[in-house]
Amino acid sequence: MENKLNLQDVLTVSELTRQISELLQQEIGFVVVQGEISNFKLHSSGHRYFTLKDEEAQINCVFWRSKQIDFELTDGMKVIVSGWITVFPQRGQYQIDCVNIISIGIGDLYLKFEALKRKLSEEGLFDSKFKQPIPTFPINIGIATSPTGAAIQDMISTFKRRNPLCKIFFRQTLVQGEEAKYDIVEAIKELNQLPLDLIIIGRGGGSLEDLWAFNEEIVARAIFESKIPIISAVGHETDFTIADFVADMRAPTPTAAAELATPLTIEMLEDEVRSLIEQLNKKIGLLIDNLKANIETIIKSYAFKKTEDRVRFTNQLLDDLDDRLNSNFVRYIQKNKDNVDGMIRHLKSLNPVSPLDKGFALLKSRGKLIEISESLAKYRRLEIIRKDETAFVRVEEIKPRFII
C-alpha cells in the first residue's frame, strides 16, 4: 500500500517557525532566568544583544533600546533577566525578549581576571622598566596565531604593503580552548630560538571565554620571560587581556600590530634616500658657487693684473681648476648614485619572496622553513610555496641526488 502525501499537511518554513513560536509562548511564556552575560553587543540602533550562560548551557537575549536600566551591561556580569521566550524567524533560533535586567554581581571569569591582574601587577610584570623597545625596522618577524582566522591574513597583507622586505616566521598556534594556553607558551619558546627581531601573538575578537587563553598566568609569564620583544594583538580595540599588560606593546587589533611593527615603511626609506641625495646636491652646488666666487675675486685683484703673463697663467689655472672640479663633481655624483643604487638593490635582494618570481619555491613544514642543509627524510608532510600558489604534499620516498 503506497503512502500518499497530502499537500495540505505540508508546512512552509515560516508556518513551522510560527507554530514553534506560539508553542513556546503558550507552554513557557514569561520566564525569570539567572546567568552570566557573554558576547555583549550594543548595536548602532541602540538595541542590546547578549548571551546568557551558565556552566552547561546558554541562550540568546535581546534588550530593546526602548527599555531602560540604571547600569551598563558588560561581559562577565551576573544578572537576572525577566522576559518572554520568542523565536527570531530569520535565524530560526529562540531567545529571551528581556523586559527587565537586575545585576547580581560580577562573573567568575571576570573575578579571576581581576585577581590575576592584581597579582602580576604587584609582582612588577606590568612595569614599564621591563618593556623592551620595538625595533624601528624589523626584518625577521615571528607570528603566533591561528592559521584559519582572518588575523594572520590581515597581518601578512599589511606587512607586504608596508614593508615587503619583512620575513615572516609563522608558528600556527591554538588560540582557544583548554589546550591553547600550553600551545601559546610553546610557540613563544620556539620563536625565541630563532633569530627574530620581533614576535606578534594574538587572535581576532571573541567573547571573554574565547580570549581566555591570553588571560592565563603561564602565558603571561612566558611573554615576560621572552628575550625577543613581543606585541600582543588580542581581539578588538575594546578587548583587554593579561597578555596585553605584560607584552612590550599592546595593539588594539592584529592589523594594527602589523602597522606598529613597521613604523618605517619601504616608501619612507626610499623618501629618506631621495632626501639625502637632494641635500648632497645642494651642498655640492654651494661648494662650487663658493669656489667660483673665490676665483672671480682673485681675477679682479690688483696683483693678478700686474702683468700679461700672470693673466694668461691665471686664466689657464682657472680653466684647469674648472675642468678638475667638473670631473671630480661628476665622479662624486656618480659614486653617490652608485651607492644609492647598491643600497636599493641590496634592500630588494633581502626580500625573501624575490626568488619565487624566478620560478623557485620555498619548502615549509608546520609553518617552519626547511633549510637547504636539512634532509627531507624526517618530514612527512610539506608545503611547497610558489609565487602564486601553495601545494600541500606528502613525502613518499627520499632518494639522494647524484651529480653527473
Q: pLDDT tens-digit profile of 67-92?
A: 888 778 888 888 888 888 888 877 87
DSSP label at 233? E
Rounded-to-integer distance, Cα 188 and Cα 288, Å: 57
Lowest mean per-residue pLDDT among 58-62, 105-109, 288-292, 397-401: 105-109
**Cβ neighbours around 306 below 10 Å, total:** 10
**Which residues are bridge partners to 365 per DSSP?**
368
Q: What is the mean pLDDT of residues 194-201?
A: 94
> With bands split at pLDDT 50, 70 and 90, how would you rate the model's confidence at 7?
low
The closest of 313, 291, 316, 293 to 304, measured between CA atoms, is 313
For residue 173, the model assigns a pLDDT of 92
Rounded-to-integer distance, Cα 41 and Cα 60, Å: 12
Grid-cell match 580595540, residue found: 237
* Strand stretches in 132-237, DSSP E: 140-145, 167-172, 198-203, 230-234
Lowest mean per-residue pLDDT among 24-28, 47-51, 110-114, 365-369: 24-28
Model confidence at 252: pLDDT above 50: yes
Q: What is the mean pLDDT of residues 142-164?
A: 89
Model confidence at 243: pLDDT above 70: yes
Distance of CA 311 to the CA centre of its chain: 72
**Phi, psi (rounded to 5 degrees) for 55:** -65, -25
257, 243 in Cβ contact below 8 A? no
> With bands split at pLDDT 50, 70 and 90, how would you rate the model's confidence at 311?
low
Q: What is the mean pLDDT of residues 397-403?
A: 71
Q: What cell numbers appear for 242 in the block?
A: 593579561
Q: What is the mean pLDDT of residues 289-307?
A: 73
Ranges 1-15, 106-120, 144-158, 309-323, most confident: 144-158
34, 104 in Cβ contact below 8 A? yes
60, 86 in Cβ contact below 8 A? no
Q: What is the mean pLDDT of residues 183-206?
A: 92
> With bands split at pLDDT 50, 70 and 90, how would you rate the model's confidence at 1?
very low
Q: Tell me, what amino acid is at 212?
A: W
209, 77 in Cβ contact below 8 A? no
Model confidence at 278: pLDDT above 90: no
Greater pLDDT, 356 or 6: 356
> With bands split at pLDDT 50, 70 and 90, how would you rate the model's confidence at 25?
confident
Q: What strand order describes the sheet that includes 140-145?
A: 167-172, 140-145, 198-203, 230-234, 249-250
Q: What is the mean pLDDT of residues 152-173?
A: 90
> With bands split at pLDDT 50, 70 and 90, how would you rate the model's confidence at 37?
confident
Q: What is the mean pLDDT of residues 290-304?
A: 75
**Concatenated DSSP letters for 86-137?**
EEETTTTEEEEEEEEEEEEEE-HHHHHHHHHHHHHHHHTTT-GGGPPPPPSS
Mean pLDDT of the chain: 83
> With bands split at pLDDT 50, 70 and 90, how would you rate the model's confidence at 302?
low
For 211, the enclosing helix (H) or strand (E) is none
